[in-house]
Amino acid sequence: MATLQSRILRLIALVAACSLLAGCEVKFGPSNFWDRWFTPETDTEYYQEKSEDLVDAITRDVAEYEINKVVVLDLVDDKDKVPILGQYLANRVVEAMTRNKTFRVAQRGEVLATLERLDLKPSFKYTSEEIQRIGKAMNAQALVIGKLLDIGANIDVHLALVDIASGEVIASASEQLLRTRSAIELLRHY
């Protein structure tokens, strides 16, 4: 019993001596070290980076189209419905486009009001006529549409930049999102 107590006392003394000699600060609180291990895989920065990658890909070689203003629509799922994840990613795409100042971007409330006035909903399957109606109403030259697809291992995010005058896809890009529990919940709720 005495040897166990003396070992414990020596260990405490050793830790105290090392702390004093090393000039370490004893901090009683959460450590930044643990943040790396317990930070969620899909935090805000994760979605921001994915959105920026998508925007970079669809805006890379579009100078010849002389696009001044774009309309970004909420991303839809395979049922052509807008899940919460689709709204969130559309907002992130708008942020990325305004940050790199590639185009002027129509304000979300104006876009939703225009779609309602035209009796349209966000979709990935617009006809050329519908695309031209949206463009004329919004005074825009291009439309950004997107689709979310749960492919089992990941969630596929696909964006397309569509020329309003011709209805042609100017550029498109895809990114894979981690299929986390929170991403699936955001994909399943409307």
Beta bridge partner(s), residue 159:
146, 173
Residue spans of the domains in the chain: they are 2-34, 42-188
pLDDT for 43 equals 74
Q: What is the mean pLDDT of residues 176-181?
A: 88
If one counts every other C-beta atom within 10 angstroms of the C-beta of residue 90, the result is 24
pLDDT for 22 equals 64
Task: State the amino acid at position 80 in one-letter form.
Answer: D
pLDDT for 29 equals 54
What mean pLDDT is reported for the chain?
85
Task: State the amino acid at position 178 in one-letter form.
Answer: L
**133 φ/ψ angles, rounded to the nearest 5 degrees:** -65, -45
Query: b/e for 91-121, b at 16 or more Cβ within 10 A?
Result: ebbbebbeeeebbebbebeebeebbeeeeee
As to burial, measured by CB atoms within 10 angstroms (0-12 exposed, 13-18 middle, 19+ buried), residue 167 is middle
Beta bridge partner(s), residue 172:
160
If one counts every other C-beta atom within 10 angstroms of the C-beta of residue 187, the result is 19
Q: What percent of the chain has pLDDT over 70?
A: 86
pLDDT for 21 equals 64
Confidence of residue 117 (pLDDT cuts 50, 70, 90): very high
- Answer yes or no: CATH 3.40.50.10610 is held by domain 42-188: yes
pTM, two decimal places? 0.74
pLDDT for 149 equals 93
pLDDT, tens digit (0-9, with 9 covering 90-100), for 55-106:
999 988 888 888 899 999 999 999 999 999 999 999 999 999 998 888 899 9
Q: What percent of the chain has pLDDT over 90?
A: 53
pLDDT for 160 equals 95
pLDDT, tens digit (0-9, with 9 covering 90-100), for 123-161:
999 999 999 999 999 999 999 999 999 988 899 999 999
Helix axes 108-117, 84-100, angle to 10 degrees: 120
- Is the pLDDT at 51 greater than 80? The verdict is yes
User: Is the pLDDT higher at 144 or at 6?
Assistant: 144
